[in-house]
Chain A
Amino acid sequence: MKNNKKIFDLNQFEKIEDIIFIDEPILTHYKRNDKHFLLYLVDTLENSDNYLMLEVEESSIYNYLTKNLSLRKLILQNKNIGYFLEQDFEGNILNLDIIQTDLIDNNYLPLEDSFLEYRPSENSYYLDFIRNYESTSYLTSLRQEAFYVKFAPINAKYSDTIGLNELATDLLSNLSKSFKNFLKADFFVAFKELKTDNSKLHKIFNRILPDLDFRMVDLKYGSFEVGLAVDKVMKGAIEDREIKDWALGVGYKYKDIVLDADYDEETVNLILNEYDEEDRKKIFNPIFKITQNPNYSLQIKDSKKAKYSTIRVKNKSVIEKIIPPTNLVVKLEDRKDYEIVQFTTLVDKNSISQTVKIENTLFNSTDNTDVLLTNKEFEKYGYDVKFEISIPLNIRAVKDTIYLTAKYDDLEFEVVYHSDKIAEGMEKITSNIFEYILNKSE
């Protein structure tokens, strides 16, 4: 029925963009008072067009344009009241009816499989719209999976506030150090059998390291509270499936093992089985520095809405199991007193060699010796150094401790052992130097 009175004026709406255009606009996005509307041409009669007009959520438009939501679902699941408009070919609105979207005639609906790949060009509204929405939804999805760490003072002197230096040196640096060491130790535990080329493993690890970092997704001051999340999106770039799976899980593994509220027997056994003493020291020492500090409490919770639990290792023997203190080794074992003994090998002309320990001479034993780490030593442990290298390595014994010290590039590298495993020490210090060389070359 034609009505000359203006009952609805589309000009009051801001036209955003035609989403589907087939010789005429089929689906158009409008906005008014920060509300989003879709105008959908559902039928053309002899003298007029019929449109469905729906107020929709911005997120639905994003999901539709990125193929995460079909147009059919967008229409049927919409809870807002819809409008059925009849417009003549001049553009006048002839009729307007209110409709409930779930009761729309099937003739006016698209197929179930009504997904659309909209690729916005430079001048499309949706280019920035999708980019902005992705960064917001990325943060939202990280927040949904985040766990929370709280660092609170015990003493009420400064109310519940934390000093900047305390925060930086007592919490953040220790937490970050522990996490970084855990990533490395766990990576090598996971892949040393699968990928035997150590230099390749180092390269892979250094490449993926930035993507392994926790994302900080929430922050609260006072008692310092931070939401940390494992980023899943960026790990999409890791091609190796096994490494990708590991990368997706390692952040949570750290939370479960290292930031464990009570360090029960099962967790402690897992720690002892998976990581050697050196790695355990690097991972757990920084954390125990926080948990054992009488001035603060370190707390953790699984999600924003959960309740905090304090990470407190009540039983000191648990700590000593994970990080055997130096004096504990002395107590449990017979006191060892290492000395470095030099051997002299005599070779006669008939190539019969004989190794002789020179005893009771001025040179029979010493508390330290110097050797050279050359390309040969690096190769022995699977590290391919591309240039000629010769690094003086000092090995000294002080009572029950062996120190291996090397200077390279004006930096001192040191490995300390409370056992006689010099070979292991040599491998470790070679590995440390090689890693430095790799990092420096990248």
Chain B
Amino acid sequence: MTLKFQENIDKIEGCPAKSENGDKTLYRFILSVPLDSDSFKPHSLIHKPKFDNICIAWGLSTYDSLKSAQEALQNLPKKTREKFTAIAVSEITDDDGIKYPTKNKRHYTFFPKKEVNLLTKFALVNQDEE
């Protein structure tokens, strides 16, 4: 299985250490609407070499429920919070990549396979309807 950013991931020993099996609905903050390729770039990585050696910084931060995603959003400082304009959701299967459970059971880092089209895989959540 080749993951997006595989070259960078390979430089970190034991990264990612495990994957949770089975289908999982995961929610991700989005910077701009409509969804574009930037929505699924680990947005810290592009300019921040200080995180190069942090394994989960090469994946996509996601939450296991809309409620936990919204809670996390409320904990962000105003300036950061305002950068996120939407939340997207996807049913992630084992074929899509690695779902890495982090130390907070509510948070997963999703390492997508290189060939997965994330723009079609994720859909925006209408938070008013949820």
Contact of A26 among B43, B47, B76 (CB under 8 A): B76
Are B76's CB and A22's CB within 8 A? yes
CB-based contact A109/B101 at 8 Å = no
Chain A stretch 97-136: residues in CB contact (< 8 A) with chain B: 106-111, 113-121, 123-126
Tell me, in angstroms, the Cα distance from A126 to B102 when the chains sit together.
Answer: 13
A40-B48 contact, Cβ under 8 Å, with A21-B61, A21-B107, A120-B103: no
Asked if A256 is an interface residue, CB under 8 A from chain B, the answer is: no
A123 to B17, CA, bound (A): 12
Kindly state the separation between the CA atoms of A124 and B44 in the bound complex, as whole angstroms: 23
> Which residues A22-48 have CB closer than 8 A to chain B?
22-27, 40-44
- Bin chain A's interface residue count: 35 or more
Interface string of B96-111 (1 = CB under 8 A from A): 0000011111110100
Contact of A110 among B56, B76, B104 (CB under 8 A): B76
Q: Which of B56, B74, B102, B105 has the largest count of A CB atoms less than 10 A from its CB?
A: B74
For A20, the chain B residues whose CB sits under 8 A away are: 72, 75-76
From B74, B81, B103, give the contact of A124 (CB < 8 A).
Answer: B103
Interface centre among B47, B51, B106, B107 (most CB of A within 10 A): B107
Among A23, A43, A119, the residue within 8 A (CB) of B45 is: A23
CA distance A17 to B79 in the complex (A): 23
Known A20-B76, A109-B77: A121·B50 in contact at CB below 8 Å: no
How many angstroms between the C-alpha atoms of A116 and B74 in the bound complex?
9
The CA-CA distance from A49 to B50 in the complex, in Å, is: 11
Contact with A along B56-76 (1 / 0, CB 8 A): 110011000000100110111
Query: How far is it, in angstroms, between the C-alpha of A119 and the C-alpha of B45 when the chains are bound?
Result: 26
Cβ of B49 < 8 Å from any Cβ of A?
A: yes
Which chain B residues border A27 with CB–CB below 8 Å? 75
Main secondary structure on chain B at its contact with chain A?
mixed
A22 to B60, CA, bound (A): 8
Interface code A83-98, partner B: CB below 8 Å = 1, 0 otherwise?
Answer: 0000101110000000
For A25, what are the chain B residues with a Cβ–Cβ distance below 8 Å?
A: 54
Q: What B residues does A19 contact at CB under 8 A? A: 104
Residues of A within 8 A of B61 (CB): 21-23
- The reply to whether A23 and B74 form a contact with Cβ atoms under 8 Å apart is no
- Which residue on chain A has the smallest CB distance to residue B46? A89
Residues of A within 8 A of B76 (CB): 20, 22, 26, 110
Assembled-state Cα–Cα distance A118/B75 (Å): 12
Q: Which residue of B lies closest to A88 (CB)?
A: B50
Which among A17, A71, A89, A124 has the greatest number of chain B C-beta atoms within 10 A? A89
| Alpha-carbon gap, A42 to B80, bound state (A) | 7
- With A22-B61, A89-B48, A91-B50: A111-B74 Cβ-Cβ less than 8 Å: yes
B77 contacts across to A, CB distance below 8 A:
40-43, 107-110
- Given the known interface contacts A23-B44, A89-B48, A123-B103, the answer about A117 and B81 at a Cβ–Cβ threshold of 8 Å is no
Closest-by-CB residue of B relative to A91 is B50
Q: Give the interface SS of chain A, mostly helix, strand, loop or mixed.
A: mixed
A90 to B48 CA separation, bound complex (whole angstroms): 7
Q: Confirm or deny: B34 has a beta carbon within 8 angstroms of a beta carbon on chain A.
A: no
Given A21-B56, A89-B50, check contact A108 B78 (CB 8 Å).
yes
Q: Are B57 and A26 in contact (CB under 8 A)?
A: no
A23, B60: Cβ atoms closer than 8 Å: yes
Q: A24 to B51: give the CA distance in the assembly, Å.
A: 7
Chain A residues in 8 Å Cβ range of B68:
117
User: In the complex, A89→B48 CA distance in Å?
Assistant: 5
Nearest to A118 among chain B residues (CB) is B104
Check A44–B80 contact: CB distance below 8 A.
Answer: yes
Known contacts A23-B60, A90-B49, A91-B50; is A116 also within 8 Å of B75 by CB?
yes
Evaluate whether A121 and B101 lie within 8 angstroms (CB atoms) in the complex, with A22-B61, A23-B44, A24-B51 already known.
yes
> Which single residue of chain A is at the shortest CB-CB distance from B60?
A23
Contact: A90 with B105, CB < 8 Å?
no
B57–A24 contact, CB under 8 A? yes
Q: Give A5-27 as 1s and 0s: 1 = Cβ < 8 Å from B's Cβ atoms.
A: 00000000000011111111111
The CA of A345 and the CA of B57, in the complex, are separated in Å by 96
**Which residues of B sit under 8 angstroms from A113, Cβ to Cβ?**
74
What is the CB-to-nearest-CB distance from A304 to chain B, in angstroms, rounded to a whole number? Answer: 38
B residues sitting closer than 8 Å to A (CB atoms) are: 29, 42-45, 47-51, 54, 56-57, 60-61, 68, 71-72, 74-81, 101-107, 109
14 additional A-B residue pairs with CB within 8 Å, beyond A42-B79, A110-B74, A124-B104: A18-B103, A19-B104, A20-B76, A21-B56, A22-B61, A23-B60, A23-B61, A27-B75, A90-B49, A107-B77, A111-B81, A117-B68, A120-B103, A125-B103
